[in-house]
Chain A
């Protein structure tokens, strides 16, 4: 029987997102409401909060970035869930076929990330992402 707890929904979505980067799909968005909101905390390269609203806007952004990805990895370190809130700490790795700002082509960049999700009625309604600087790289 499928576990439809908020924690299970978020973890399934993260697994699907990894598959999507390999296959050029964006099926992970099936776990979100149509009007879901994504917010990204400031980083050194983007020192203001950024916001994406709506699944189609997120789909376009995802393809714009990850259609050029040649490898991605996600290592989940910790998940804390309470009610409809889920916090996930993980290390994200990515390499691209072409040079990106701060990440040359073919180099695998690693980033410490924490995402907080709000889940309601079996779908994710919001995601807030905090990303550390690139930790390490390997060819």
Chain B
């Protein structure tokens, strides 16, 4: 029987995020299957990107399409997950592979970023995520 606790839903969502061939960036529809249609995603500013807030699934599809033009093999490793009520906090390391030369990175570079996400889960779907991620750095994760 499927565990639909908020923590299980978030961890399953991250499993789906990672479930794709390494030559592609992400299977966005598989990943979004555990998000509500009106989901809200908030990303705190990073050294490379301004803060942004999106509503619904389409902005994620658009972002993944843009990232897919120069990255592949997106992967998130969860180090810790803490749940209380409908809220789940996750500490993670994200990695990806650059597929063509872009400013700051050569093709083939593995990039990583360490971060945290706070999720809200209702009725088995993720309705909100607030993400605080560090700088995108060249090189494999140095922290587990």
Residues of A within 8 A of B (CB): 39, 41-44, 47-49, 78, 80-82, 85-87, 89, 112-114, 116, 128, 130-133, 135
Residues of B within 8 A of A89 (CB): 89, 116, 118, 130, 132
Whether B46 lies near A87 (C-beta < 8 A) is no
- Taking a contact as CB atoms closer than 8 A, the residue among B83, B84, B132 that contacts A112 in the complex is B132
Query: A109 vs B50: C-alpha distance in the bound complex, in angstroms?
Result: 16
A114 to chain B, nearest CB (A): 4
Whether A80 lies near B116 (C-beta < 8 A) is no
Query: Are A116 and B89 CB-contacts (below 8 A) given A49-B143, A80-B82, A80-B118?
Result: yes
Q: Which residue of B lies closest to A135 (CB)?
A: B45
B124 interface residue (CB < 8 Å to A):
no
Residues of A within 8 A of B143 (CB): 39, 41, 49
Whether A85 lies near B135 (C-beta < 8 A) is no
Residues of A within 8 A of B142 (CB): 48-49
A124 to chain B, nearest CB (A): 14
Whether A132 lies near B45 (C-beta < 8 A) is yes
B88 interface residue (CB < 8 Å to A):
yes
Residues of B within 8 A of A87 (CB): 82, 89, 91, 116, 118
Residues of B within 8 A of A116 (CB): 80, 82, 89, 91, 116
Whether A41 lies near B114 (C-beta < 8 A) is yes
Closest 5 CB pairs of A and B: A87-B89, A44-B47, A114-B116, A80-B89, A112-B44
Q: Which of A48, A85, A86, A113 has the most CB of B within 10 A?
A: A85
Query: A39 vs B135: C-alpha distance in the bound complex, in angstroms?
Result: 16
Whether A82 lies near B134 (C-beta < 8 A) is no
Query: Are A43 and B135 CB-contacts (below 8 A) given A112-B44, A132-B44?
Result: yes
- List B96-141 residues whose CB lies under 8 Å from chain A: 114-116, 118, 130, 132-135, 137
B87 interface residue (CB < 8 Å to A):
yes
Residues of A within 8 A of B118 (CB): 78, 80, 87, 89, 114
Whether B47 lies near A133 (C-beta < 8 A) is yes
Query: Are A82 and B84 CB-contacts (below 8 A) given A89-B132, A112-B45?
Result: yes
Whether B132 lies near A80 (C-beta < 8 A) is no
